[in-house]
Structure 1
Amino acid sequence: MNLSSYSYYDEADYDEYYNNDFDKPCEYNESNSVNSVVGPYIHSIICILGFVGNSLVILTYALYKRSRSIINVFLLNVAIADLLFVMALPFIVYNELHHWPMGQVACKLLRGSYSVNLYSGMLMLACISVDRYIAIVQARRSFRLSHSYVICAVIWVFAFLVSVPTFYFYHRYEPQHHEVTWVNGTEEEETPVAPQYVCEWKFEDSEVAKMVKVAVPSTQLAIGFFLPLIIMIFCYTTVIVILKKAKNLQHHKAVQVALVVVLVFIVCHLPYNLALIYDTVSMFKESSCDEAESLLIAKTVLETFAYLHCCLNPVLYAFIGVKFRNNHRRIF
């Protein structure tokens, strides 16, 4: 919830890749080295921590019936989105490092669900901040419990709708190119590459490709980052101002929690989204190999850092609560 990872590859990209003014195509050796470390090791840690933490949250809310409340409904849906996100991540990482071992339907479902979980998780976090704003600032009950189910359903449907381009344009296919050997800046020989399928963007029309490659990351930035960020900053800032006026020690702890929630969200997601903005703006201008590789490395590292948020959500939103910890102990 990038955050998703985009490897915009299609035949048009390949042709442009070989028909520019450079002596030879970019090799991206350093970025491949970074991927070989980040992919298998760091992503594995994120997947394990995210799976364990979010599974415990779901298990606690599912088994402890008396813990049902409006805020807990949102927290449960955040945990479900994060859990599905980390379950999809290993397959996507394997595809980016090697090839796609499954079929067309699995390709579309995995990439599409990855996008759906990204949007739904972010928007659920925004709903939690709105719920706290209404409960503390306006000093009244927030949504009804039945309303919270409807809101969650609407968010999941909306996340699916904005992910339709991902479902539609991702394909399992065999890239149509050959492996070229370069000697002293000239093409020496061309050998066929063993057929390996990928699960990536594929477009039949270059104009459609340009439109989608701008629209998808722009939508991710607007809905998956800036909208939740603005809502969270407004709601939690107002909450902090109100709680600061109270002399209660418990209220001051709530202020600290609110500050941590916003700061962690910004620290995890802002760097990658700034890189995504730069990448989108400079997508259609010619860049040197060194510049392109630097951007690719930065996106890989910052995107991985953003993934950490799905591991931190259970701690920030669930285990930090006394009631949740008590319910968790009673179950186990």
Structure 2
Amino acid sequence: MQSVTPDYDLSTHDYPNSTDDELCDMNPHPVEVITTTYIHSFICAFGLMGNGLVMVTYIFYKRTKTMTDVYLFNVAVADLIFVVALPFIIYNEQYNWLMGRVACKILRSAYSINLYSGMLLLACISSDRYVAIVQARRSFGARSRTLIYSRLICSAVWVFAVALTLPTLIYTERFEEPDLEANTVTVMCQLSFSEGDTAKVMKVLVPSLQMAIGFLLPLIMMMLCYSSIMCTLLRAQSSQRHKAIRVVLAVVVVFIVCHLPYNVALLSHTLDLFKQRSCEAEKIKLRALAISRSVAYLHCCLNPLLYAFVGVKFRSHFRQIMVDLWCFSKKYIYSARSSRGTSDICVSGLRTSDGTNNMSSFSA
């Protein structure tokens, strides 16, 4: 079995020094593989459920959308791309990438697209909430009229994310590495380079972009915007103030807890790429990368809870979805007479969804 290796990992001929003059065996312990599989399966299941509900709500129930709504919908799309790809990544890594070279490239690129688009969109959400709360008087009535700008911004974010993913898409390859000691062949899917100069540049460029744009830029934006929002909320005389402050703190703390360990491990790994390192030290670093990256993956499950389900209006739409699902299920279970009655209820539920109210920036 092959572990979940980083996208920027070692090239074909780059191995840490071994004390036995043999290639270092980087394969993980079977227990680690099984644990990682269960964790990623959990992330996949809850990520599909949460982000799918966000998309259904915004498509069918929330007809009038603010700028934040557009950003949240695109965040859900970005997270959904990754959680859909995650089961295929798990399957291929356990069965030597049976789906081939094209699947190797596409699946490895899915995380990069999710990382760049999702993190940049979260930065856009923080700036939009800053305008809505801190600059509320100046922006009153203007945000709903600038909805087209949010769509243009989202389009630009997606184009930028695809451009940043191109190195991963181009240089990721499926290749076989013989294990002389076990007399087997290990199939890997990771960055691989034919030229030494290209390898040196890409080994630094890819993780540096991930850290700079996938973590530091949105973190700085969130810290600046949410600190100003916190000051404004503390001055406000509102019964909802304390709940709103807790939501702000939760957004920032969860972001840091999920992504800081992975980026610290990534930075340490990148700084040591061109140094001589022992086999055991390399195993420890790769294990730390795998664990911290799984924690980072959790963020795609938590985004719907942190950004969508905190809104009162969104929760009311979600409850309406549950009512309608119950109605439609009864339609196919009971007789024609009862199904006619439940059908009327379902249609009325859809029609009474309030499409005119905007979701509060921080509702409890």
Regarding TM over 0.5, the answer is yes
SS of the aligned residue for 2:277 comes to coil
User: Which whole-Å deviations, capped at 9, do the CAs of 1:80-139 have from their partners, x for residues lacking one?
Assistant: 111111111222233334411113322222222321121101111110000000111111
Aligned to 2:9: 8
Aligned to 1:185: none
- Of 259, 264, 272, the residue aligned with 1:274 is 264
Residues of 1 paired with 2:86 and 2:10: CA distance?
A: 19
Query: TM-score, length-normalised on structure 2?
Result: 0.81
Residues of 1 paired with 2:100 and 2:277: CA distance?
A: 34
Q: Is the 8 A contact 1:169 1:203 kept in 2?
A: yes
Aligned to 1:188: none
- Of 315, 322, 331, the residue aligned with 2:321 is 331
Residues of 1 paired with 2:265 and 2:213: CA distance?
A: 16
Aligned to 2:54: 57
Aligned to 2:214: 224
Residues of 2 paired with 1:155 and 1:28: CA distance?
A: 36
Q: Is the 8 A contact 2:8 2:203 kept in 1?
A: no
Residues of 1 paired with 2:155 and 2:89: CA distance?
A: 26
- 1:26 paired with 2:28, answer no
Aligned to 2:96: 99
Residues of 2 paired with 1:239 and 1:166: CA distance?
A: 37
Residues of 2 paired with 1:112 and 1:297: CA distance?
A: 21
CA change 1:178–1:27 in 2 (3 A) is closer
Q: Is the 8 A contact 1:101 1:197 kept in 2?
A: no
- Of 228, 233, 242, the residue aligned with 2:223 is 233
- Of 130, 133, 147, the residue aligned with 2:130 is 133
Q: Which amino acid is the alignment partner of residue 22 of structure 2?
A: K
SS of the aligned residue for 1:291 comes to helix
Aligned to 1:187: none
Aligned to 2:340: none
- Of 147, 150, 155, the residue aligned with 2:149 is 147
User: Which whole-Å deviations, capped at 9, do the CAs of 1:145-188 have from their partners, x for residues lacking one?
Assistant: 1111100000000000011101100123333x34226xxxxxxx
Query: TM-score, length-normalised on structure 1?
Result: 0.88
Q: Is the 8 A contact 2:7 2:108 kept in 1?
A: no
Aligned to 1:160: 162
Residues of 2 paired with 1:27 and 1:198: CA distance?
A: 13
SS of the aligned residue for 1:172 comes to strand
Identical positions, percent: 49
Residues of 2 paired with 1:34 and 1:119: CA distance?
A: 31
Residues of 2 paired with 1:322 and 1:5: CA distance?
A: 39
Aligned to 1:116: 113
Residues of 2 paired with 1:290 and 1:331: CA distance?
A: 52
Gaps of 5+ in 2: 323-364
User: Which whole-Å deviations, capped at 9, do the CAs of 1:203-237 have from their partners, x for residues lacking one?
Assistant: 11122112111100000000000000000000000
SS of the aligned residue for 1:174 comes to strand
SS of the aligned residue for 1:66 comes to coil
Residues of 2 paired with 1:240 and 1:169: CA distance?
A: 43
Q: Is the 8 A contact 1:95 1:198 kept in 2?
A: no
Q: What RMSD in Å do the two structures reach over aligned CA positions?
A: 2.0
Q: Which amino acid is the alignment partner of residue 98 of structure 2?
A: P
Residues of 2 paired with 1:206 and 1:38: CA distance?
A: 36
CA change 1:26–1:11 in 2 (3 A) is closer
Residues of 2 paired with 1:307 and 1:169: CA distance?
A: 23
SS of the aligned residue for 2:84 comes to helix
Q: Is the 8 A contact 2:174 2:189 kept in 1?
A: yes
Q: Which amino acid is the alignment partner of residue 27 of structure 1?
A: D
CA change 1:108–1:93 in 2 (3 A) is same
Residues of 2 paired with 1:178 and 1:96: CA distance?
A: 17
CA change 1:331–1:94 in 2 (3 A) is closer
SS of the aligned residue for 2:189 comes to strand
Gaps of 5+ in 1: 182-190
**Deviation of residue 299 (structure 1)?**
1.1
Larger displacement relative to structure 2 (275-284 or 136-145): 136-145
**Deviation of residue 20 (structure 1)?**
5.7
**Deviation of residue 21 (structure 1)?**
5.5
CA change 1:11–1:269 in 2 (3 A) is closer
Aligned to 1:90: 87
- Compare CA radii of gyration and give the structure with the larger one: 2
Aligned to 2:249: 259
Residues of 2 paired with 1:315 and 1:20: CA distance?
A: 46
Residues of 2 paired with 1:67 and 1:45: CA distance?
A: 33
